[in-house]
Amino acid sequence: MSTFPISFLGGVDPASGTILDPECDSEGENISGKVFCFPFGKGSTVGSYAMYQLKLGGHAPAAIINDSAEPIIATGAIIADIPMVDGVDVSLLRSGDLVDVDADEEYVELPDVVEKHVVTSIVKSKGKLLLLRRSDKVGSYRGQWAGVSGFIEPHERDDEAARRELAEEIAAEKIRIVRKIDPLRFRDKGTIWCVHPFLVEVKNTKIRIDWEHRSFEWISPDEIGRFRTVPGLQQVISRLIGD
């Protein structure tokens, strides 16, 4: 697993399958017989033949997963007969993951990782954003700061879930959904959180929190860095209000 682009020419030892690139965060790891995940390839087109050398020496990866395929890696995968799948957010993968890859069907599965769909509403009023500090009674992220969040129930639309959670957690029923963006995914250990973000506006800053939270604060957007937040909250806020 590498979060950096890889050149197979000079970046991987063809005689052993060990990553040599000193700029790579996986320098020293061996990719022989493993599913090798990295964003995309870089460097000379000779890298395709370096992949073929790995195959001839018995040190090729079992499969390759990329964010985006480019000619060097795609060509190398073809001539070395290495299964390859692209269009995958490799930031959600971790070294040591058990990965099932089917290049023919173009899918990647992580048997030991679960995906959970949640809504997160960022509540805005008079230029301030609402942060809620999670109580000790909740099952996860105790004491951390969040938006108005909750699981999406089976057969429930995400906007329905957002309105339900707003009513339950802060007793807000008169709300206006200002913006909704595509879901964002964040990895935390064995869970991938698929977050459905909403920007919601309310007129009244006086709210009533439920048992899931111990306190709340109205903050300016630039203050978010002061708080220990649940995974991905700062990115959600940036995407919702930053464009």
What the block records as the tokens of 186 is 């964040």
Domain boundary among 62, 80, 109: 109
Residue span of the structural domain in which 72 resides: 8-109
Identify whether residues 99 and 186 lie together within a single domain. Answer: no
* Total domains present in the chain: 2
Report strand pairing: 128-134 vs 213-219: antiparallel
Residues 127 and 199 in one domain: yes
The CATH number for 143's domain is 3.90.79.10
Q: What is the pTM of this model?
A: 0.90
Catalytic residue numbers read 44
Domain boundary among 54, 77, 109: 109
Cα–Cα distance list, 167 to 68, 132, 236 (Å) = 41, 14, 21
- 172 burial level (CB within 10 Å; 0-12, 13-18, 19+): buried
42 shares a domain with 161: no
Task: Note the pLDDT of residue 243.
Answer: 58
Q: What is the pLDDT of residue 8?
A: 96
pLDDT of residue 204: 86
Give pLDDT, residue 156.
97
Q: pLDDT of the chain along its 243 residues, tens only?
A: 999 999 999 999 999 999 999 989 999 999 999 999 999 999 989 999 999 999 999 999 999 999 999 999 999 999 999 999 999 999 999 999 999 999 999 999 999 999 999 999 999 999 999 999 999 999 999 999 999 999 999 999 999 999 999 999 999 988 999 999 999 999 999 999 999 999 999 998 999 999 999 999 999 999 999 999 999 999 999 999 975
Six-digit token string for 218: 């109205």
Q: Which residues contact 141 (CB under 8 A, 6 or more apart)?
A: 134, 230, 231
